């Protein structure tokens, strides 16, 4: 028997559905080690060394993992493919500390992806673990003493850290810009026009179009009234007609940033809510990993999408060649694919085991965006 360790019970259940009896899947229920709540937990005098300790609520989970590891031939650490997941894997390895322990990474929870990961295990990425440790230490150094100030001055339960502190500064700077802004009066003038045809009655409003005066800066009401008076006496003619072809491309597939923006704009959800629903979709094996800044899509996924479009909508809706999108951000890591359905044939109308309205809504949004691009 082989043991696979993941973070969440949902992910464990999804993996168990298509892995055979040779595999036992257990969940850590999140982090099993963290900085203590009762003290700073960072040794400032000795290279900012973190004082990680076992999370009290995870003691039973740890004992269970130790028991199961005694029976396992090989232990696979399959936490999420990011810094946090790498740190969880490292902590599990520290606690188990025996036998053959391998790290496996997959960006979608499908049989093919998991089997490929098991066939190509690797070592824990120390650089990712160090990056997560640095982030956690920075959170603690900034937030540990600042949060109590918020509790006293604003409301208990609020947190302040590396993200919130920068966000507050940006808001303050923008507010100062708003207060320093000096408004200047300006006027805009629009004219309703229609083609002159003697036999058509003046009451007929068909064919009316609106134009804007753009070649003159109007700074006050007196100037505006004078211009309007002149325009009422004027005659109008079309002096030039320009025709051009406009090509509109579909939006690129979702990244974490654009998905949370769409969740806020379309559903009115907070970023936290959108990411929580996306986590459920990922753990159910319905979408690829949802923490990504890349527009990349695998060639296999593109091929399946093109086959689906041709079969479902017809040849005329299929472009001659696939579209490729480039990431414009200079700091994009592009370690993962864009967010997409793991199987394009699981369209939203088929249900695909979606257990709640919000899960179904986000899946439909991701699915439509992927097929459209």
Q: Give per-residue pLDDT as tens, 283-304.
A: 989 999 999 988 999 889 999 9
Among 97, 132, 167, identify where a domain stops: 132
Give tens-digit pLDDT for 13-72: 999 988 888 999 999 999 999 999 888 999 999 999 999 999 999 999 999 999 999 888
Residues 117 and 82 in one domain: yes
Residues 103 and 195 in one domain: no
Q: Is the pTM of this model over 0.95?
A: no
Among 248, 264, 284, identify where a domain stops: 248
Question: CA–CA separation, 287 vs 338, rounded Å?
Answer: 10
Q: Which of 144, 289, 313, 317 is catalytic?
A: 289
Residues 12 and 104 in one domain: yes
Q: Does the pLDDT of residue 93 top 70, yes or no?
A: yes
Residue 151 belongs to some domain of the structure: no
Question: Is 289 in the active site?
Answer: yes
Residues 39 and 123 in one domain: yes
Check residue 142 and give its pLDDT. Answer: 87
Q: Does the pLDDT of residue 333 top 70, yes or no?
A: no
Q: Does the pLDDT of residue 351 top 80, yes or no?
A: no
Residues 324 and 242 in one domain: no
Please tell me the total count of domains within the chain.
3
Residues 26 and 46 in one domain: yes
Q: Which residue has the tokens 């439509």?
A: 368
Give the domain range for residue 328.
256-372
- Whether 95 and 65 have beta carbons less than 8 Å apart is answered as yes
**What's the rounded mean pLDDT across residues 255-270?**
96
Residues 340 and 297 in one domain: yes
Q: How confident is the model at residue 352 (pLDDT cuts 50, 70, 90)?
A: low
- Indicate which CATH number applies to the domain containing 114: 3.40.50.140
- Whether 278 and 102 have beta carbons less than 8 Å apart is answered as no
Residue 177 belongs to some domain of the structure: no
Among 132, 148, 166, identify where a domain stops: 132
Residues 128 and 6 in one domain: yes
Residue 170 belongs to some domain of the structure: no
């Amino acid at each position: 028997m082989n043991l696979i360790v993941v973070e969440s019970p949902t992910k464990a259940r999804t993996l168990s559905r298509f892995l055979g009896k040779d595999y036992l899947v257990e969940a850590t229920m999140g982090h099993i080690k963290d900085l203590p709540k009762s003290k700073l937990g960072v040794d400032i005098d000795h290279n900012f060394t973190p004082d990680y300790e076992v999370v009290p609520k995870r003691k039973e989970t740890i004992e269970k993992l130790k028991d199961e590891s005694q029976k396992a031939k090989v232990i696979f650490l399959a936490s999420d493919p990011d810094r946090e997941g790498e740190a969880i894997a490292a902590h599990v390895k520290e606690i188990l500390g025996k036998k053959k322990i391998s790290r496996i990474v997959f960006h979608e929870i499908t049989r093919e992806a998991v089997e490929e990961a098991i066939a190509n295990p690797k070592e824990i990425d120390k650089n990712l673990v160090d990056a997560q440790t640095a982030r956690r230490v920075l959170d603690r150094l900034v937030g540990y003493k600042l949060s109590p100030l918020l509790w006293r001055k604003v409301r208990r339960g609020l947190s302040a850290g590396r993200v919130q502190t920068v966000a507050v500064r940006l808001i303050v700077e923008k507010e100062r810009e708003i207060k320093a802004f000096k408004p200047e009066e300006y006027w805009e003038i629009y004219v309703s026009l229609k083609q002159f045809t003697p036999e058509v009655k003046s009451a007929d409003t068909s064919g009316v179009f609106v134009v804007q005066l753009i070649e003159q800066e109007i700074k006050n009401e007196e100037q505006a009234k004078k211009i309007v008076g002149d325009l009422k006496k004027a005659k109008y003619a079309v002096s030039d007609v320009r025709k051009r072809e406009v090509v509109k491309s579909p939006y690129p597939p979702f990244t974490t940033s654009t998905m949370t923006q769409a969740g806020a704009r379309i559903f009115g959800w907070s970023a936290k809510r959108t990411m929580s629903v996306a986590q459920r979709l990922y753990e159910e094996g319905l979408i690829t990993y949802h923490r990504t800044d890349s527009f990349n899509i695998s060639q296999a996924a593109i091929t399946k999408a093109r086959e689906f479009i041709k079969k479902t909508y017809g040849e005329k809706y299929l472009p001659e060649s696939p579209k490729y999108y480039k990431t414009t951000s200079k700091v994009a890591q592009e370690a993962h694919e864009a967010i997409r359905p793991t199987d394009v044939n699981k369209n939203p109308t088929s249900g695909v085991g979606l257990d709640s309205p919000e899960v179904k809504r986000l899946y439909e949004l991701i699915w439509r965006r992927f097929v459209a691009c």
